Structure 1
Amino acid sequence: MKLATKFQHLFNLTDDTGILQHSLYSIPDLTKGYTTDDNSRALIAASMLYEVYKDEKYLDLLKRYLSFLIYAQNGKGYFRNFMNYNREFIEEVGSEDCFGRTLWALGYLLNTNLSNGYQSVAVTLIKKALPNVANLNSLRGNAYSLIGLSLLYSSDVTEFNKEKIKNLITSISKKIVQKYRENKDGEWKWFENIMTYSNAVLPWALLRSYIITKDEEVLDVAKESMEFLEKVTFRSGYFKPIGCKDWYKKGDEKPAEFDEQPVEACETALMYTEAYKIFQEEKYKEKSLKCYNWFLGENSKNVPLIDEETGGCYDGITKEGVNLNEGAESMISLIITDMVVNHTETVFK
Structure 2
Amino acid sequence: MLVERIEAKWIDAFASVFEMCDVEGSQTAAILSESQSRAVNVNLAELALDRLGTPPIHVIVPTPRQSAPVPVRSTGASDAIAGSTAVMAALGAVDFVVDCTVEGLLHAPELGSILGEGTRILMVSNEHPEALERLLPQPDLEPKVKIGIRKLIGASEMKVTSAAGTDLTVDVSGAPCGGGWGYTSRPGTISHWPGGLCLAFPKAGTVNGTIVMDRGDMNLTFKRYIESPVTLHIDDDYVVDVEGAGTDAALFRSYTDAWGDREAYATSHVGWGMNPGARWDTLSMYDRSQTNGTEQRAFAGNFLYSTGANEHAGRHTLGHFDLPMRNHSVFLDGEAVVTDGRLQGELA
Please tell me the TM-score bracket, short chain as reference: under 0.3
Q: Of the two structures, which has the highest relative contact order with CA contacts closer than 8 Å and spacing of 6 or more?
A: 1
Give 1 or 2: higher helix fraction: 1
Give 1 or 2: higher strand fraction: 2
TM-score by length of 2: 0.26
